[in-house]
Structure 1
Amino acid sequence: FREDLEINLIGLIKTLKFVLNNLKKSESASLIFFSTVAVQKGMAFHSSVSASKGAIEGLSKSLASELSPNIRVNVIAPSLVDTPLANRFLNNEQKKQKASEKHPLKKIGKPADIGEMIEFLISEKSSWITGQIIGVDGGLSTLDNN
C-alpha cells in the first residue's frame, strides 16, 4: 500500500508543487491525472492501487474547485491498455481474448485511445470540462454486458 501511495499520490503532489505556481499565471491551463477503472468497479486484488488512485480522484475534484476558473483539472480512468505495463495480462492471444470479453466494446484499449483523450482535455475544445473522472475503458465502468 505504501509504495502505491508514494508513487501515485505523493509523487503527484510533489509534481504539482513544482509546477503549480507557473500554471496559476496562465489564463487557461489543464491538469490531467490518471486513475483506473478499478476505483469505480471495485475489482478484486486491486485494493492498493484503488486506494491510491481513489485518493487522486478526490484530490482532483478539490483542486478543480480551488483552481477554477483558470486551471481545469480532470482525471482519465482507463481500463486495460495494450502497453508493456499490461504485458503479463496480455502476453498471448488467449489472455487478450479473455480480457477483451470483459469489456462491453469487446476489445482492449490502445495507447492512442488514451492519447486522444489527453489531446482533447488539454485543448480549448474541453474548456467547459473540469472536475471529471473520465472512463476510457470500453464501457467497463458503467455498462454490464457480460
Structure 2
Amino acid sequence: MKNILLIGGSYGNGLAIAKELQYENKVFIASRTNDIIAEMNVTHIPFDALTDTLDTTKLPDIIHGFVYCPGSINLRPFRGLKIETFEADMQINFISMVKVIQSILPNLNAAEQSSIVLFSSVAASMGMPFHTSVAAAKGAIEGFAKALAAEYAPKIRVNVIAPSLTDTPLAEKFLSNDEKKEKSALRHPLKRVGSTEDMAQMASFLLSDKSSWISGQIFHVDGGMSTLLVNG
C-alpha cells in the first residue's frame, strides 16, 4: 500500500483523485476544510497552502506519491491586470507548491521510486487571450517539473497534467448554465468539457507503477484542444 499526499483534496480534482485512490492506498489530504472528506478513508491535515507551513510530523516517513491541486483561473484583459494578480497567481500555483515539495523531499527520497503529479493548463502551451497571468504561472510549473524530473531521476518521477476547462468549483462561473456548458463543449474536438474523473484517472495512472518509465512529461488531458482542429 502506497502513501499518497494530496494538497487540496477537499473538492474538485483533488477530491476526485482522493476517491479514486482511497481504497488501495493510504491517502493524506492537506487542505483547509474536511467537510466532504470526513466520511472517506483518508487522513486529513489542516493546511492552507497560502499561509501555512506543512507539518511534516503528521506524515509518514515514506511518501510514494504527491499531488498539488490548488490553482486559480484569472481570465482578464492584460491591460487591466495589476501586478498583484500576477503575484497572487504565481503564489498559489507555483511558489506554495515549491515550498511543499521542498518540505517533503526527504519523504519522497525515502521511497524506492516516488511520483510527483502537478497541474498546469492548456493555456500554458496555447496562445489564448485573457490568460496572461494564469498562463505565466502554469508555464512556470511545466518548466519546473521538467528540470526537477531531470535532477531527481531515477528516484523521483515528475509529470504534469495540463487540462482544458474542467467542471470544477473553480470553473463554476464559466459553466454556470447549460448555454455556457454547450459553448465550452463545442470548443473542444471531443465535444465536452473535462470532468474531475478524467483528471483523477490520469493522476492515478501517473502515481502508479504502471507509469514507472514515464517522467518529465506534460499530459494534455484537454479533449483534443491543444492538438486538433475543431470540426464544425
TM beyond 0.5: yes
Q: Choose the corresponding residue for 2:147, options 59, 62, 66.
A: 62
Aligned twin of 2:182: 97
Aligned twin of 1:145: 230
Q: Which runs of 4+ in 1 moved over 6 A?
A: none
Give the 3-state SS of the residue equivalent to 2:213 in structure 1: coil
CA RMSD of aligned residues (A): 0.8
CA distance in 2, matches of 1:94, 1:105: 17
CA distance in 2, matches of 1:74, 1:142: 19
Asked if 1:133 corresponds to 2:218, the answer is yes
Task: Say which structure, 1 or 2, has more relative contact order (CA 8 Å, 6+ apart).
Answer: 1
Asked if 1:33 corresponds to 2:104, the answer is no
CA distance in 2, matches of 1:103, 1:128: 30
Q: Choose the corresponding residue for 1:79, options 164, 169, 172.
A: 164
CA distance in 2, matches of 1:53, 1:108: 19
More helix by share: 1
Larger Rg: 2
Give unmatched runs, 5+ long, in structure 1: none
Aligned twin of 2:89: 4
Aligned twin of 1:21: 106
Aligned twin of 2:26: none
CA distance in 2, matches of 1:110, 1:13: 26
Q: Choose the corresponding residue for 1:111, options 167, 190, 196.
A: 196
Percent of residue pairs identical: 55
Give the letter aligned to residue 114 of structure 1: M
Aligned twin of 1:45: 130
TM-score (ref. length: structure 1): 0.98
Give unmatched runs, 5+ long, in structure 2: 1-85
Q: Choose the corresponding residue for 1:88, options 158, 173, 177.
A: 173
Aligned twin of 2:208: 123
CA distance in 1, matches of 2:229, 2:123: 15
TM-score (ref. length: structure 2): 0.62
Cα deviation 1:73-116 (Å, max 9, x = unaligned) = 00000111111111111111110000000000000111000000
CA distance in 2, matches of 1:145, 1:90: 20
